[in-house]
Structure 1
Amino acid sequence: MKPSPSVQVTFDQLKDAVSHSTDFVMKSMDFAHCKYGLFYLETMVDSEVFQDHIVRPISLRPDLAVKEVVTIRVMKESDDIQEAIAAIVKGQTVLQKEGETTLYLLGTEQKKERAINIPTNERVLRGPHEAFIENLDTNINMIRKNIASPDLVVTYFIIGSVSRTRIAVIHMKGIANPDVNNVIEQRLQNIDIDIAEAPGFIQEYIQETKFSLFPQLLTTERVDRARAYLMEGKVVILAEGAPEVTILPVSFWSFFQSPDDYQISWWIGSVFRLLRILCFFIGLGLPGLYVSLVSFQTYVLPLTVALTIQGALKYITLQPVIEVIVMLFALEVLREATVRLANPIGQAISVVGGIVIGTAVVQSNLVSNTAVIVASITGLASFIIPSYEMSSSVRLINLIITLFSALFGLVGLVFSFFCLTIYLCRMNTMGLPYFYPSLVDSDVLDTIIRAPIWRLKRRPKEAAPVNKQRFRNSRR
């Protein structure tokens, strides 16, 4: 819809569009030979920028063209009322000169953001202590400072018919696979929703499998981690209002990697990575192994161990599978309470709750000491995984494996892992296998172990990069 040449008529049109909101105002500036109208939401504009760069310059030189007078960085001409409305609700000021239909959209948004701080969800042992914040432009600025290359490509999208959330897709030209990038951009363009809560909504709309037991996208708040994955040929998605970024495509092994692995000695980093993978299997199978051995195959254990466990279970009221599930449930309740409450209170509840519940259930002969130990080790093993999504998946899937073990013993345990392996092998992310790269040849150098940096000459295959060579021989 075209604006009217009359400033007052344009104001009435805009006021109707914003539902006669009280904070929408018009500032009229009348001069001898001309008249200006400024339309804006007074709760959204920066008053200093508004006065110093718009009102004062026009007052000093009202006869000159708007482009020559207004000293503001962001300025755009428009002859569409709908575009002006979208600019106003974002905090911009719309300027119109009486008798003209051209609207000037001026960037006067009030920008309030928190300072760049250290990552809170991903602890930094060594390396940069910078974390993303809720401002999209600041996040892109941090990435560009870390990758000062003209090949860093940023593409913007608007998602949400009501929220109009800005989304940025970043990739490295010449490294990232253009086919993968096109698939990601196409899925973003197909999103039709009124409000986009990032990154959760975005992830569920673009991931390969709608109903997946394991995470298919990696989320991080660390700038150095996003930079490292960009240089490997992956794509990073940022959203306005989200202090985390989404990285894709990723493989199963990406969820066990940490930026700290590359800041320490290669063999220490390899030991820590192997420890995380081992804890993944412990978190999945330890409760089921305990239930199957105690309920069915006790003869597999050494005699002294079997007698000790049987003696501990002699006066226990609950069945082994029930006591394990009860302890895992109590562990999840304590974890959720610790996360949701304030930090000092949460720490106190986690310590006191663990001691009280553990002591009470053992002394009341509801749960054996062995079940408490199994549940504790299972919880610790899941917490060591760097990815919160993968850790949560482990804690939920181990309940299914425990039930199969309670029904069929060790056969059920082995069958559960067999089905889980088949499921993982069949999964894809952005058309690439979830278990890619394989554990043969040079692919194993940065999957289950972390080889020396000078051995990692080629980029990982999981993102199918166009430029596979990372560097030449650096230790001549």
Structure 2
Amino acid sequence: MKLSPSVEESESYLKKLFAEQSDFQSKRLFIGESEFRLFYFDTLIDSGVVQEFILKPLLQRPEAKIQDVVSILDYAETDQFEDAAQAIIYGKTVMQRDGEDKLYLLGADLKKERSINIPTNERVLRGANEAFIENLDTNLNLMRKLINSTDFIVKTYTLGRISQTKVAVMYLKSIATPAIVEELDRRLQSIDIDYVEVPGFLDELIREKKYSLFPQLLITERPDRARSYLMEGKVVVAGAGSPDTLILPVSFWSFFQSADDYQIGWLLGSIFRLLRICCFFITIGLPGLYVAVSAFNSQLLPINFVNTLQSSLKYVAFPPVFEALAMMLLLEILREATIRLASPVGQTIGVVGGIVIGTVVVQSNLVSNTMVIVAALTGLASFIVPSYEMSSAMRLLSYPALLLSAQFGLFGLAFFFVMVCIHLCHLDTMGYPYYTPPFSFGDAKDTLIRAPIWNLRGRPADTAPGNRIRLRNPRGWKR
């Protein structure tokens, strides 16, 4: 709607629009020979900023132009009521001088945010200890401090008809593949929804395979990790109201990488990464392997181990598949209770509950000693993976593996892993393969192992085809 030069008409329109908003304010001011109106939400503005940088300069120079007087960087003008209403909702102060057919949008919003803390979900022993927070501007500030380059591009979107959530897409222009940026832009522009939660909603709305358990976008709260993926040609998506960012496209192997891998020696980093990948198979297959060798294929084990296993199962009332299911469900219940309760209480429940319940179920002959060990090792193996989403997928996949093993033994377990591998080969993210078997040393340099930094000369060919050279003369001191 076109603006009227009359401040009374503007006030009437905005008061009608925000009639049910108890915190909407309209202030009438006479400064010099001019009449002004200020429109704002008093819960969103910083009254000190309004007083110091808007009203005080106007009192000193009442007849001067507004843009020459107010000392606020966030300054804009409009002649549309819709733009003014949107600015008020975002916490700006809207001003109009009587007789002028334009509104001044002045950024005087109240800044309330928590301080930058250490990461809570991605703790490391070496490296940076800064984490993103819920304020998008602060998160962009952290990223710009880490990447001081004109190639660093930030594009902002507003998603959600009602929520009007701000989302920022970050990439390096000289490294990222334009096709990825264009495809992401197309998908974000096509989202038509009332409100958006970042990262959960965006993850589901832009991923290819909607029903796959495996995470197809990597979520991180660490600015340094986001920077490292930007340097590989990937794209980072951040949103207002969330301390987590999305990274895409990523491969299956990205979920086993940790920031610690690059802060310690390459040999230690490779060993720890191999350990995480081994824990992937342990989490999914160990309960099923226990059931298979207990009920079907005990002849594959040494005779002493078979005797020990059978003696532990002698007085157990339930078959191995039921005791395995019971212990896995109990582990999930303890885990959820530990997360949902207050931190001191949750730690106590996790430790004491695990010890007490484990002891009771063994003494009551509901499960065997071996099954308690299997359940504990399975739980610990799932926690070693740096990605919460991949860890959760691994634990859920252990249930169908267990049921197939209970029906068909080791053949059922092997069949399940073949099906998982086929499913991984069918996945892709933003049109790029999700899983590439690392059968060559070139593919395994930063997947199965972490090769020395001086040997990681090239960026991934799929996400950075135009600028693959990462290192030119890394050890130039050595002649």
TM-score (norm 2): 0.98
Q: How has the CA–CA distance of structure 1 residues 462 and 282 changed in structure 2, closer, same or farther, with 3 Å as cutoff?
A: farther
Q: Deviations over 1:52-81 (max 9, x none)?
A: 111111122211111111111111010111
Aligned residue in 2 for 1:243: 243
Would you say how many aligned residue pairs link Structure 1 and Structure 2?
476
CA distance in structure 2 between the partners assigned to 1:367 and 1:19 by the alignment: 65
Would you say the 8 A contact 1:133–1:242 is kept in 2? yes
Q: Deviations over 1:19-67 (max 9, x none)?
A: 4312111111124532111100111100110111111111222111111
Aligned residue in 1 for 2:339: 339
Secondary structure of the residue aligned to 2:40 is strand
Aligned residue in 2 for 1:375: 375
CA distance in structure 2 between the partners assigned to 1:100 and 1:223 by the alignment: 46
Secondary structure of the residue aligned to 1:463 is coil
TM alignment of 1:318-329, pairs within 5 A: 318-329=318-329
Would you say the 8 A contact 2:425–2:436 is kept in 1? no
Q: Could you list the runs of 5+ residues in structure 2 that have no partner in the other structure? A: none
Shift of 1:3: 1.9
Amino acid at match of 2:208: E
Aligned residue in 2 for 1:160: 160
1:91 aligns with 2:81: no
Would you say the 8 A contact 1:207–1:216 is kept in 2? yes
Q: Deviations over 1:258-295 (max 9, x none)?
A: 11101101100000000000000010100000101111
Secondary structure of the residue aligned to 1:26 is strand
Aligned residue in 2 for 1:49: 49
Aligned residue in 2 for 1:138: 138
CA distance in structure 1 between the partners assigned to 2:32 and 2:355 by the alignment: 81
Aligned residue in 1 for 2:414: 414
Shift of 1:185: 1.1
Shift of 1:439: 3.2
Would you say the 8 A contact 1:436–1:462 is kept in 2? no
Aligned residue in 2 for 1:283: 283
Amino acid at match of 2:135: N
CA distance in structure 2 between the partners assigned to 1:290 and 1:83 by the alignment: 64
Secondary structure of the residue aligned to 1:168 is strand
Amino acid at match of 1:445: K
Would you say the 8 A contact 2:253–2:447 is kept in 1? yes
Would you say the 8 A contact 1:236–1:246 is kept in 2? yes
Aligned residue in 2 for 1:365: 365
CA distance in structure 2 between the partners assigned to 1:373 and 1:414 by the alignment: 22
CA distance in structure 2 between the partners assigned to 1:369 and 1:25 by the alignment: 69
TM alignment of 1:40-79, pairs within 5 A: 40-79=40-79
Q: Could you list the runs of 5+ residues in structure 1 that have no partner in the other structure? A: none
TM alignment of 1:440-459, pairs within 5 A: 440-459=440-459
Moved over 4 A (4+): none
Aligned residue in 2 for 1:120: 120
Secondary structure of the residue aligned to 1:304 is helix
Q: Give the alignment's Cα RMSD to 1 decimal.
A: 1.1
Secondary structure of the residue aligned to 2:445 is helix
Q: Deviations over 1:368-405 (max 9, x none)?
A: 11111111100101100010000000000000100011
Shift of 1:462: 4.9
Q: How has the CA–CA distance of structure 1 residues 10 and 223 changed in structure 2, closer, same or farther, with 3 Å as cutoff?
A: same
CA distance in structure 1 between the partners assigned to 2:450 and 2:461 by the alignment: 15
Secondary structure of the residue aligned to 2:451 is coil
TM alignment of 1:302-321, pairs within 5 A: 302-321=302-321
CA distance in structure 1 between the partners assigned to 2:305 and 2:462 by the alignment: 44
Aligned residue in 1 for 2:209: 209
CA distance in structure 2 between the partners assigned to 1:16 and 1:195 by the alignment: 25
CA distance in structure 2 between the partners assigned to 1:260 and 1:336 by the alignment: 27
Q: Deviations over 1:223-252 (max 9, x none)?
A: 110010000100000101111111000000
CA distance in structure 2 between the partners assigned to 1:473 and 1:155 by the alignment: 33
CA distance in structure 2 between the partners assigned to 1:303 and 1:293 by the alignment: 12
Moved more, 438-447 or 183-192: 438-447
Would you say the 8 A contact 2:232–2:464 is kept in 1? no
TM alignment of 1:127-276, pairs within 5 A: 127-276=127-276
